[in-house]
């Protein structure tokens, strides 16, 4: 949303001070008492909060030294040390064996005298978990959910101009888990300070829907809610202008609005957009609606809404239709988590993850099991990724309804969102009471957004007791395990179905044998928990049964916690198609072969097995070619026909050298993959995801670090520790290696490689210049202690 003099939205992430651990709550409460505290000399250690709140003339050094400066988003949990304690989290290992706790955040800020009389709101996009907020000593609210945003108006409590600085204090209690996975701790999403006139568009106050879609025009409805916070009525004018993606005016309209004192009015109008450009994953075209509110000729507010023109339809026989055309859903389920940063992902890192998924052929993202961060929705709109946004709990209490309303009102203008998932695997699925609660949530969702279907992700198809009938779409979590999804289609042919969660295949990147001691699983994709299945079954079921609509694989990326089937020393999951660093596992190439038309041929395992000469190695190949040939040191080991959606196998007697896989279509050789026997680890190769950053203090670069031999081949078993140093206007904010049993800190300037790779995250400062990253490896020979640089220019 663009800032203007009428509406200002300021990022409030910088210059917070953080304290880990609780302090007596009475210190904070006293600050809100009438009259405050007058005798500052009587305050004890820790009571500085009262000083900051009450004595506006107190110097900033009243804050104790053990409170450190942080920039949001911030996750203090990932900064902790791993502990072999099964009580951390809601079940053993669920929180990744990292401690949670209680923390405090404080920020001082001025407000100009010119803002007196305006409406000033602080918006928190996500705090994990239970938060309590004070402003200038006044308690202004508590919020329980770690996944829904919340906002408070501050206008009455602020000091303006010469009255002094303001202080906001946030207490975060993360001791109680909300889910059964790693959730982090702290203010892990953005905070905003928003200033508007008291005659303005309401928060999430527009709702834009596509009514009809024809070749030369589209009819859209725009509903706009305007708030009047003045003591007198306001006869206003609403001007709505539609801009295309290039910034050209498409159409505009003008409506008069009579708004009573302290009243709210919603207008509705239908606008015809000529020659519409349609939104889809392949063509994510976006329009912008600019809503301007005028009173007596004066502009009081400008509110921008990004939207796309597209239609969606779910059917019981053809599956999903986008803009009238069938589209199989290639989906993954994902938590908000990444190496180096925990759940506090900078926006660029969210974008990086979506880019990786799209490169694999993924076209849909299920935010499991919670409302997605707002920036993820913006990025999916812009890059073209379908989204299932998910409600956290099956809860029809006032709090539960409020959380659902937040989810829908915040997201309903995003063209990427194609359905609302109202719950996931709740224990009362399939019961009469559960069905009542689900129906109440579905009705609330339809009231706010009648354009999208509702779905529930049901555990193993627990859909009896009227439960399935409470929503538009029945989500089958692992329905293919025993064919329940296909069987249910025969019994309920009008039921709309989707594979809401599937596979749960457990593999570890670069590992080719079961290793219970270290908590590693082989890459062949044959190991999965009792409820899961292989990737091949998960996908071919959908291909053979298009009424299943599509599938959401569990999961796109590994994540902290849920180290199934292990516990300690394993600290994160194995379900990902990519590891926690976004490095691809071998199964990545299976999905790429079935989800893209790009020629793919990929063989594994690696071909460096010193001491195993003459032993038989099980070689697998993923490909979307018609035929595949395997060659060892130039000798053909045979040509095999590729059955779409499956893999090929060869039993190969190991000898060092080169194993080559070639893919053919129409008799023509179109793709090749080579595996070679590598030499000793010798050098480091740094590969940044990009080389130009914005000098805004938040932009980020992901640097993949590979250990290679002297010929440049990655050593697939290398585990050398890599040390990093940086020069220029940038800083290291995290490291990782994808090892699910690694206990090294993510906040460090060094990391051991895991099976040849690790990553380092570089964030820029607020000045332009050149960033030089140096990496050196312990245990590597002289030639590879050479300095490797990433020269990235930060652009103003």
Residues recognised as catalytic = 425, 501
> How far apart, in whole angstroms, are the C-alpha atoms of residue 556 and residue 362?
9
- For 226, the 3-state DSSP assignment is strand
Rg (CA), the chain: 28
Continuous H helices in 464-557: 484-491, 535-544
Burial 282-319 (b: 16+ CB within 10 A, else e): eebbbbbbbbbbbbeeebbbbbbbbbbbbbbebeeeeb
Contact 404, 391 (CB under 8 A): yes
Contact 706, 684 (CB under 8 A): yes
Phi/psi at 750 (5° precision): -155, 155
Contact 497, 455 (CB under 8 A): no
Element (H, E) at 25: helix 25-31
Contact 619, 659 (CB under 8 A): yes
Question: CB 651: neighbour CB atoms within 10 A?
Answer: 9
> How far apart, in whole angstroms, are the C-alpha atoms of residue 609 and residue 596?
32
Listing from the earlier edge strand, what are the strands of the sheet with 601-604? 601-604, 616-623, 647-653
Quick one: tokens of 610? Answer: 């010193």
Pairing mode, strands 386-390 and 417-424: parallel
CB-count burial class (<10 Å; 0-12, 13-18, 19+) for 665: middle
> How far apart, in whole angstroms, are the C-alpha atoms of residue 743 and residue 462?
38
- For 555, the 3-state DSSP assignment is coil
> How far apart, in whole angstroms, are the C-alpha atoms of residue 253 and residue 479?
49
> How far apart, in whole angstroms, are the C-alpha atoms of residue 365 and residue 746?
26
> How far apart, in whole angstroms, are the C-alpha atoms of residue 348 and residue 332?
20
Contact 556, 315 (CB under 8 A): no
569 beta partners = none
Start-to-end CA span in the chain (Å):
21
């Amino acid at each position: 949303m663009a800032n203007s003099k009428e509406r200002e939205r300021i990022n409030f992430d910088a210059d917070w001070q953080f304290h880990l651990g609780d302090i007596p709550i009475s210190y904070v409460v006293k600050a809100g008492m009438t009259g405050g505290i007058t005798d500052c000399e009587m305050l004890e250690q820790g009571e500085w909060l009262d000083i900051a709140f009450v004595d506006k003339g107190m110097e900033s050094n009243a804050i104790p030294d053990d409170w450190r400066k942080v920039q949001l988003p911030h996750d203090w949990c990932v900064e902790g040390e791993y502990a072999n304690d099964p009580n951390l989290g809601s079940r053993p290992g669920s929180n990744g064996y990292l401690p949670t706790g209680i923390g405090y955040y404080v920020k001082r800020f001025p407000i100009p005298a010119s803002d007196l009389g305006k409406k000033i709101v602080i918006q928190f996009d996500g705090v994990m978990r239970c938060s309590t907020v004070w402003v200038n000593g006044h308690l202004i609210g508590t919020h329980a959910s770690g996944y829904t945003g919340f906002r408070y108006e501050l206008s009455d409590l602020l000091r303006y101009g010469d009255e002094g600085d303001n202080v906001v204090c946030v207490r975060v209690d993360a001791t109680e888990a909300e889910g059964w996975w790693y959730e982090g701790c702290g203010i892990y999403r953005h905070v905003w300070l928003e200033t508007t006139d008291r005659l303005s568009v309401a928060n999430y106050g527009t709702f834009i829907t596509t009514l009809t879609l024809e070749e030369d025009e589209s009819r859209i409805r725009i509903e706009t809610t305007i708030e009047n916070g003045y003591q007198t009525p306001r006869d206003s004018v609403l001007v709505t202008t539609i801009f295309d993606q290039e910034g050209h005016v498409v159409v505009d309209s003008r409506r008069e609005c009579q708004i009573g004192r302290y009243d709210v009015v919603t207008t509705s109008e239908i606008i015809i957009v000529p020659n519409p450009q349609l939104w889809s994953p392949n063509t994510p075209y976006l329009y912008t609606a600019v809503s301007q509110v005028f009173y007596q000729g004066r502009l009081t507010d400008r509110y921008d809404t990004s939207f796309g023109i597209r239609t969606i339809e779910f059917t019981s026989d053809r599956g999903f239709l986008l803009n009238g055309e069938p589209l199989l859903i290639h989906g993954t389920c994902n938590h908000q988590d990444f190496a180096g940063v925990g759940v506090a992902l900078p926006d660029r890192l969210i974008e990086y993850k979506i880019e990786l998924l799209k490169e694999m052929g993924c076209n849909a993202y299920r935010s499991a099991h919670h409302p997605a961060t707002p920036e993820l929705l913006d990025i999916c709109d812009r890059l073209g990724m379908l989204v299932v946004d998910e409600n956290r709990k099956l809860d029809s209490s006032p709090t539960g309804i409020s959380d659902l309303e937040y989810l829908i009102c915040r997201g309903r203008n995003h063209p990427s969102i194609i359905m609302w998932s109202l719950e996931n695997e709740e224990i009362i699925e399939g019961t009469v009471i559960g069905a009542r609660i689900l129906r109440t949530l579905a009705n609330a969702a339809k009231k706010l957004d009648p354009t999208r279907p509702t779905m529930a992700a049901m555990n193993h198809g627990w859909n009896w007791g009227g439960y399935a009938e409470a929503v538009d779409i029945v989500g089958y979590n692992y329905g293919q395990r025993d064919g329940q999804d296909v069987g249910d289609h025969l019994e309920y042919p009008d039921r709309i179905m989707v594979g809401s969660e599937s596979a749960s295949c457990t593999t570890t990147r670069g590992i080719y044998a079961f290793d219970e001691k270290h908590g590693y699983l082989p890459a062949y994709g044959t190991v999965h928990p009792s409820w899961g299945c292989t990737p091949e079954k998960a996908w071919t079921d959908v291909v053979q049964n298009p009424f299943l609509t599509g599938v959401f694989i569990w999961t796109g990326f590994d994540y902290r916690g849920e180290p199934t089937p292990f516990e300690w020393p394993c600290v994160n999951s194995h379900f990902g198609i990519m590891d926690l660093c976004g490095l691809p596992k071998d199964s990545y190439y299976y999905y790429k072969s079935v989800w893209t038309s790009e020629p793919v041929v990929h063989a594994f395992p690696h071909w460096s097995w010193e001491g195993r000469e003459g032993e038989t190695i099980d070689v697998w190949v993923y490909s979307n070619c018609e035929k595949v040939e395997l060659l060892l040191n130039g000798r053909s080991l045979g040509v095999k026909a590729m059955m779409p959606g499956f893999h090929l196998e060869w039993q190969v007697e190991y000898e060092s050298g080169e194993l080559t896989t070639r893919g053919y279509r129409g008799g023509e050789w179109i793709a090749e993959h080579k595996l070679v026997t590598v030499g000793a680890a010798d050098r480091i190769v740094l590969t940044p995801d990009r080389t130009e950053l914005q000098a805004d203090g938040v932009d980020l670069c992901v640097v993949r670090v590979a250990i290679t031999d002297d010929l440049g081949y990655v050593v697939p078993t290398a585990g050398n520790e890599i040390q990093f140093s940086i020069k220029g206007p940038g800083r290291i904010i995290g490291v990782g290696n994808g090892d699910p049993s690694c206990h090294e800190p993510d906040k460090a300037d060094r990391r051991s490689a895991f099976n040849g790779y690790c990553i380092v995250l570089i964030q820029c400062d607020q000045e332009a210049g050149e960033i030089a990253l140096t990496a050196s490896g312990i245990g590597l020979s002289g030639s590879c202690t050479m300095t490797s640089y990433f020269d990235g220019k930060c652009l103003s």
